[in-house]
Structure 1
């Protein structure tokens, strides 16, 4: 008779798999703090929070990560042609978007996917929405997806979810140690910073020890964190985007998660992240009269514009 692993063990295995170079460290911390992992009944809104004794989420919120992640993955096919035109010719991004005659239908389909994902927040359970036909059902079996693009999206969603769970684990530690920053917005930024550092600070030694290219490993982790940033953006109530007593301004959180990587300007991280941010700006009908000479510069300007 085999025993099914507990929810707490499943989450620990996910974190160990996402950040293998720190697997022993996370196991030690998991044991030290002895917190529970509580899978709550699905309900309207988003359920992902923590206190000194437990991390809590519901399966609908995990489904939201999956659905929005797989949907946002398509941002490149929508905005990459205009982005490359703008950066190669030094023309404003909005001008390049207008030149791209094929963008209209792609953008319409993309916005439909994002709207479907966002409708999951208001639903009581996943079954209450119509799951998009071109997005696979959530699964823990990566290989069963059978499609290279879907497997790439799977990897990024796994990193995004690991980031969110490490963020919540920092809340656990702050509560248990009575060491939280003095305000809730400061604590949110500190938890984002902890999760990012945990996922990226040991990569050089890990890459060297396992014969991986450091830039490629860093690029993949950073891209997963960028995806986490747009998922967190979608999870944050619109009225809180400019900051309040609970949340810092969402632009500050995105900057803490996305900015400052040492990746080269031609890294696909900057391409993917620029497309994600362009999608956010288009959703909010923000002006995109931006001239940038590289995808990295485009990301930096877009982050500044989101403020």
Structure 2
């Protein structure tokens, strides 16, 4: 169970202008709380890394500069994300948990009932495709992002919501490793055609995020 931390998946106000980008203190606080809620035992390391990399997290509109899915890092200190990605991660957490639970509880693979699993996948795809992702109705049993079901009355929902939160922390940590690669000069040249180097950097960032949360 995650340690209770305020606003682990804080509902930041939705941006109305396509060109508006927020990086005020409430955005930074929301990200800090998400990190601490996901890895409370590494709070001091997170604080040191934040200071060392001089990090600034930015909330962008759901459609920004022609992009719809925004989760990236650049300019040696900036990490960007939007509401659409956070909502998609939330739904994906429920989807992953439902798939795992369904397989674990089924008496056999032939007896699998994937009806709800498919419903969750469709909701995830609708979130990515919609022009107003926040207005897309969530499937029954999926809490609004940031609302954590009670572990005693809805243990499945609580597990799924915590999994979703930790997944967002993983994704942001992945981006922090990109920042460090930039600062160390060890990242792939973004203007190069060397796809292997870019792939290797992505794997390096994946490994860093997973190790940081699971070690």
Task: Tell me the TM-score range normalised by the shorter chain.
Answer: 0.7 to 0.9
Q: Does 1:67 align with 2:91?
A: yes
Q: Rg bigger for which structure?
A: 1
Shift in CA distance, 146/124, structure 1 to aligned 2, threshold 3 Å: farther
Shift in CA distance, 131/195, structure 1 to aligned 2, threshold 3 Å: same
Residues 132-182 of structure 1, C-alpha deviations (whole Å, 9 max, x = no match): 132111125565995222111122112111111110111111112322256
Distance across 2 between alignment mates of 1:57 and 1:145: 33
Asked if the contact 1:71–1:114 (Cα under 8 Å) also holds between the matched residues in 2, the reply is yes
Aligned to 1:31: 51
Which of 42, 55, 59 is 2:79 aligned to? 55
Task: Return 5+ residue gaps in structure 1 as ranges.
Answer: 86-95, 202-307
The normalised TM-score by structure 1 is 0.54
- The list of structure 1 runs, each at least 4 consecutive aligned residues, that deviate by more than 3 angstroms after superposition, is 140-146
1:60-209 matched pairs, under 5 angstroms: 60-81=84-105, 85=108, 96-97=109-110, 100=111, 103=112, 106-139=113-146, 143=150, 147-181=154-188, 183-201=197-215
Q: How many residues align?
A: 181
Secondary structure at the counterpart of residue 65 of structure 1: helix
Shift of 1:53: 2.3
The normalised TM-score by structure 2 is 0.74
- What is the alpha-carbon root mean square deviation over aligned residues? 2.4
Task: Return 5+ residue gaps in structure 2 as ranges.
Answer: 1-23, 190-196
Shift of 1:200: 2.0
Shift in CA distance, 175/140, structure 1 to aligned 2, threshold 3 Å: farther
Distance across 2 between alignment mates of 1:76 and 1:135: 16
